[in-house]
Structure 1
Amino acid sequence: MSTAQRNAIRALLRVAPVVDELGRLFEDRGGALALVGGSVRDALLDRLGTDLDFTTSLRPDAVEAIVRGWADAVWTIGRAYGTIGCRKGDAQIEITTYRSDAYDGETRKPSVEFGDSLEGDLARRDFTVNAMAVTVPEHTFVDPFGGVDHLAAGVLRTPVEPEVSFGDDPLRMMRAARFASQLGFRPAEPVVAAMREMADRIEIVSAERVRDELVKLLLGRYPRVGLTLLVDTGLADHVLPELPALRLERDEHHRHKDVYEHSLKVLEQAIDLEHRLEDPPDLTIRLAALLHDIGKPRTRKFQPDGTVTFHHHDVVGAKLVRKRMRALRFSGDLIDDVAKLVELHLRFHGYGTGEWTDSAVRRYVRDAGDQLDRLHVLTRADSTTRNLRKAQRLQRVYDDLEHRIERLAEQEELASLRPDLDGNQIMAALGIGPGREVGEAYRFLMELRMDRGPLGEDAARDALLAWWAERGA
């Protein structure tokens, strides 16, 4: 047994009371059980957690009957795919009948066929590093495709020909990019070649499954590696076409940056700044950083003097973000947050060297809303200049803006900006009932609050009455 295999067994033994107990229950029912896939891979990497994946010779009904009397909780939402889930203590367990998934080339969902051997099940796995197993309770290590060696080399290979594997489930091409991001692995050349050849097959996979893989890729340790693989193989043309579209031809004088490389650099720099956010890794900021300039291809214009402009690419980009994220079935709240950040990412550049009035700072905070901390990160990350003096100046200027926001926040409760009078007070002051005019008055007071800061109720009421009289006249 190799050192890596011994490490896997040791990691398994740390959760052995649960694993072996479950293995004996299956053994008593005449069934085979093995820890498999990502659980074995992570055990070999000495990072096995409490999420455990098993495969078994028994069918789902028999699996459910076994765990019903053993587990603390059982769920059967994956029964149609041969999976029964359960919880025992801290362990989250999924047990799947030997199977092979295959697409018929027309539908967006794989058909499910149950198998009859562990080796057959492993042969239908996505990559060799996920095609290893440890039988329980025997603790026999099963590695028919050399997954241990490939894991040690950091290489992604498929158990069968990649064309066959990706034909069975085209989403595996996305998984190659995801594992490149999560683990830093590189796909073998036959895998890359098959991805290029079969990239259009990803179209038959549901948007939700593609989205989930893209999210895991973005939240990985090396998202640039995974994204580059998607672009270089042509997969991005089908799942995130706005990204390869950023590879604009540069003008002969090189007067504008490579937008694609700039966007990947901004993503990396945003990740380096995630410690400023509450709960990293942060999907919202990573999406906003990656997509902040996707409006540039639509807005690029060459000027007579040879310069290049991208006027309004922030507004156009926000619209494109909404369209793409809706197509990928992201949640409405996440779409709103990312689109807001993209639309606001240029706002800071009007700050100059601190010429903004307090009113402009208040509006900056109001418009950012609950995305202010992320906007700070995105704006700082968006500086990719190699001019050290310019970079330091931008940092100092943004430091100044943040300090001004902090000072105003202490004085004026910027986080909950509202007029000095509420709706009821407005109606009482003007002697009117609910209706459109109350909203107009509220907006007037809000703009007054932005311009002049807190006035107090008496001064706000005087200003409201003067506005009302002028409006009536």
Structure 2
Amino acid sequence: MRDLSDAQLAQLLDKDIFHLISASADKLGLECYVVGGYVRDLFLERPSNDIDVVVVGSGIQVASELKKALGKKAHLSVFRNFGTAQVKYHNHEVEFVGARKESYSHDSRKPVVEDGTLEDDQNRRDFTINALAVCLNKDRFGELVDPFDGVGDLWDGIIRTPLDPDITFDDDPLRMMRCIRFATQLNFFIEDETFDAIERNADRIGIVSGERIVDELNKIMLCRRPSKGFVDLQRSGLLQRIIPELTALDIVETRNGRAHKNNFYHTLEVLDNVCKAQEKSIASDGNGHDSGPNVWLRWAALFHDIGKTKSKRWDPAIGWTFHNHNIIGAKMIPGIFRRMKLPMDAKMKYVQKLVNLHMRPIAIADDEVTDSAVRRLMNDAGDDIDDLMTLCEADITSKNEVRKKRFLENFRVVREKLTDLKEKDYKRLLQPCIDGNEIMEMFHLKPSPVVGQLKQTLKDAVLDNKVPNEREPLMNLLMAKAKECGLV
């Protein structure tokens, strides 16, 4: 976080794209401002390529003028129904909209829009930190307009709404999800009055489409510590309306003095552990991860114990049990994904598989780690074996350090066995089943270059998938090559 004067803001905006926007607006005699996230991120020293511009007048006119100035390399998209336009140029995406004021009906997130002033436009913004505006017109270039002290809230690490939060959230209930998402992304706190309004308006989330909710959940999932967001979702009452199966885990029952752990908070600890493991993996991978962390492994962590509520039983001899919770949880996944509008394709099957298998490595690590048990696990997990192991290691959240150390050491043994078996199986699958000794015996040869040549012919054929690694087709190939060499 840094403090920025108007002169410093002007210096940071001293780029061709902003001067061209400025010239386009001035040519048309219209006020224009860069607003929202781009300005916020200048103060937070975060990178941002997406630029939102508010024009007091027609945003489409300024966008069209900018397109002319940029020439053929720029692409203009106009959305007249919404009064917006977008200009794409190199790494920049500039969204233009006319300043407006909005009014809502109770049963819809779609507002009635009227032309407005900059003040009207800032009043309709979701949070004070997103209501910052910097003028781009030449005579006021770099001037900050901050009517709600959004900069102060950035310094204090607070999320709050510009106007009455009850009205803000009642008008557009998705803002409640965005509030928690921003608090999670920025590691900010939600101001008390704003949070209380989320609790009061939680039922309003019912008018928001599943796709929009999932979009916000995915953004929370991709935060460094998503547990913060899910705790806020639970405290506010939103989670009960979105994923009640997860809320149901937030309970501790005691019988005869014996209690089970709170599986909701255990789940969030596992989720954060997976995030740490992914962050460590990306940092240590010299090839980089341009696509970012695998969000579906994080969903698997969130749902890995979802079956515990249905499987919970009391056994007087051993206490609380959750037998087959992994199998029950895996069966629940398709229904949850369908209801939440999550994808029903390979991503769902991936999550379902990891939920189903997440107890297997623990069972193997608890016993003698045999080749056959690990090979069966590899066969069932397929290409997702490494993700499964990451999930299982993250699942060790015991406060008993001796027990935790023992499990992690056993998992290390399982990982070593996996690596060893992968190598063995690779060699078994890709090394020709006819070896050099058999070739020498068949043609009465001693070790020599011709033996190496015959071996290489078979190996190349297997590696190039020209023939299956089976005795009969390889023997036919060998005999043909031996004939070329004058051996038969």
Q: TM-score range by the shorter chain?
A: 0.7 to 0.9
Alignment partner of 2:360 out of 347, 359, 374 = 347
Aligned-residue sequence identity (percent) comes to 34
Distance 1:192 1:25, change over 3 A: same
| Higher mean displacement: 351-360 or 401-410 | 351-360
Matched, 1:35 2:23: no
Matched, 1:263 2:274: no
| Higher mean displacement: 398-407 or 247-256 | 247-256
Distance 1:415 1:141 in 2: 68
Distance 2:300 2:168 in 1: 33
1:308: how far off?
1.1
Q: For residues 242-261 of structure 1, what are the alpha-carbon distances to aligned partners after superposition, in whole Å with 9 as ceiling and x for unaligned?
A: 22111123214344211011
Distance 2:429 2:206 in 1: 45
Mark the runs of 5 or more structure 1 residues left unpaired by the alignment. 421-454, 462-473
Note if contact 2:266-2:397 (Cα within 8 Å) is conserved in structure 1.
Answer: yes
Aligned partner of 2:113 in structure 1 is 113
1:133-148 superposed matches below 5 A: 133-137=133-137, 138-148=141-151
Matched, 1:329 2:341: yes
Distance 2:118 2:242 in 1: 33
Note if contact 2:54-2:98 (Cα within 8 Å) is conserved in structure 1.
Answer: yes
Residue identity matched to 2:307: G
Q: For residues 14-67 of structure 1, what are the alpha-carbon distances to aligned partners after superposition, in whole Å with 9 as ceiling and x for unaligned?
A: 553211211210121122211101111111112242221111123354244223
1:357: how far off?
3.5
Aligned partner of 1:6 in structure 2 is 5
Note if contact 1:60-1:83 (Cα within 8 Å) is conserved in structure 2.
Answer: yes
Distance 1:5 1:456, change over 3 A: closer
1:313: how far off?
1.1
Aligned partner of 1:224 in structure 2 is 227
1:292: how far off?
0.8
Distance 1:414 1:42 in 2: 52
Distance 2:122 2:297 in 1: 37
Note if contact 1:230-1:236 (Cα within 8 Å) is conserved in structure 2.
Answer: yes
1:152-231 superposed matches below 5 A: 152-231=155-234
Distance 1:389 1:281, change over 3 A: same
> Helix, strand or coil: the match of 1:84?
strand
Residue identity matched to 1:340: K
1:49-448 superposed matches below 5 A: 49-59=48-58, 61-71=60-70, 72-76=73-77, 79-100=80-101, 102-107=103-108, 109-137=109-137, 138-252=141-255, 253-274=257-278, 275-276=280-281, 279=289, 280-305=292-317, 307-331=319-343, 332-353=345-366, 355-413=368-426
Aligned partner of 1:425 in structure 2 is none
Distance 1:416 1:296, change over 3 A: farther
Note if contact 2:20-2:69 (Cα within 8 Å) is conserved in structure 1.
Answer: no
Distance 1:295 1:140, change over 3 A: same
Give the aligned length. Answer: 423
Distance 1:57 1:238 in 2: 39
Distance 1:414 1:33 in 2: 65
Residue identity matched to 2:5: R
> Helix, strand or coil: the match of 1:87?
strand
Note if contact 2:369-2:414 (Cα within 8 Å) is conserved in structure 1.
Answer: no
1:372: how far off?
1.7
Structure with bigger gyration radius? 2
> Helix, strand or coil: the match of 1:374?
helix
Distance 2:100 2:251 in 1: 45
Note if contact 1:86-1:94 (Cα within 8 Å) is conserved in structure 2.
Answer: yes
Residue identity matched to 1:13: L
RMSD of the TM alignment (CA)? 2.7
Distance 1:227 1:100 in 2: 32
TM (norm. structure 1) is: 0.83
1:404: how far off?
1.1
1:221: how far off?
2.5
Q: For residues 100-145 of structure 1, what are the alpha-carbon distances to aligned partners after superposition, in whole Å with 9 as ceiling and x for unaligned?
A: 45542224x4135143211110110011011110010322100011
> Helix, strand or coil: the match of 2:33?
strand
Aligned partner of 2:46 in structure 1 is 47
Distance 1:90 1:319, change over 3 A: same
Residue identity matched to 1:147: G
Distance 2:80 2:243 in 1: 32
Mark the runs of 5 or more structure 2 residues left unpaired by the alignment. 283-287, 434-467, 475-488
TM (norm. structure 2) is: 0.80
> Helix, strand or coil: the match of 1:85?
strand
1:320: how far off?
2.2
Distance 2:426 2:242 in 1: 43
